[in-house]
Amino acid sequence: MASFDAIDSVAVEPDYCHRCGAAVDAREYEGRTHPWCPDCDVLFSQCPIPGGHVVVRDDDSVLVLDEPIPQHEGVLSLPGGHAKPAERPRESVVRELEEETGLTADPEDLEFLTVVHSEHPDVAFYLLTYAVERSRVDGDLEPEFEDGDAYFAPVAELRANPDRIRDSDLDRIELAFGE
């Protein structure tokens, strides 16, 4: 079996080594071909990108987004997204909440719910999910996109129309509402 000086995690398959700038080649490791820097002898592993979502509860309703972006495919979603470099999970969630809805929250007010591993053709994510009560959130709803929307939807309505929201988001809403 091949051995390497190091294995580094990357979000996308590189063309050049981030350590030395050399062109990346490929090597087999544990039955798969991976990008590899021959100068540094570093194997690159495409590991999941960290991110998060937040379930904002308001009695029997939850904050949802209707955003005109391809990955949401015309369905509602929870506020959230990927973390920026050196950003802690709770910080990324409150940043995304403010960017997408205009609402602000204290990271310490977030209650951890679960972690979701989400695989896509070109990328994977580890998404930490938190919950917070509307009473702990400040500001007025202002959707990020002019042709989008952010509003509190009754959970019963989402349950009755599960095709209107991403499955993984509905699962996390159920978890946040203890059902």
Secondary structure of the chain: what % helix, strand, coil (to 5)? 25, 40, 35
**Cα–Cα distance for residue pair 167/158, rounded to 1 Å:** 11
**pTM given for the model:** 0.75
pLDDT of residue 58: 98
pLDDT of residue 31: 77
CATH of domain 49-176: 3.90.79.10
Name the more confident of 68 and 53: 53
Mean pLDDT rounded to a whole number for the chain:
87
pLDDT of residue 126: 83
What are the domain boundaries of the chain?
6-46, 49-176
